[in-house]
Amino acid sequence: MSSFEIWAVILGLTVVTFITRGFFLLIGERIELSETLQNALRYAPAAALIAIIAPEMFFTQASSDVEINSPYFWGGICSIIAFWLSKSMLLTIILGMLAFTVIRLVLA
């Protein structure tokens, strides 16, 4: 690949990234989103986070079976319970990491 081609690819990816990420900023007030769509978009960050964390929590890279001996699994379960009971994000993180660390040390 020549130097020109590399720079062309970098520039093209920059433009595509700018357009896709800045789409709602670029259109401004010209397009009004429906109330239903606005309500649905409120769940997007949580859904993305779950999509990233859930496979690591339930499955190992070696197999597609649920691993209940995994510290990730028990740390995640503890975090879910902590958030369900307290609704505190800080407490959820602290208890989840504490459970993960203790179980990792016990299983090691």
Residue in the structure block whose two tokens are 């009971």 = 85
Q: In this structure, are 45 and 84 located in the same domain?
A: yes
Residues 12 and 57 in one domain: no
Q: Is 96 found in the same domain as 54?
A: yes
C-alpha dist (Å) from residue 84 to 70, 74, 87: 21, 15, 6
pLDDT band at 62 (very low <50, low <70, confident <90, very high): low
Range of the domain at 26: 1-32
Please compute the mean of the pLDDT values over residues 90-95 and round it to a whole number.
91
Does one domain contain both 50 and 16? no
Same domain? 89 vs 54 = yes
Same domain membership, residue 68 and residue 42: yes
- Tell me how many domains the chain contains: 2
pLDDT above 90 for 14:
yes
d(CA 71, CA 57): 8
43 plus 21 within the same structural domain: no
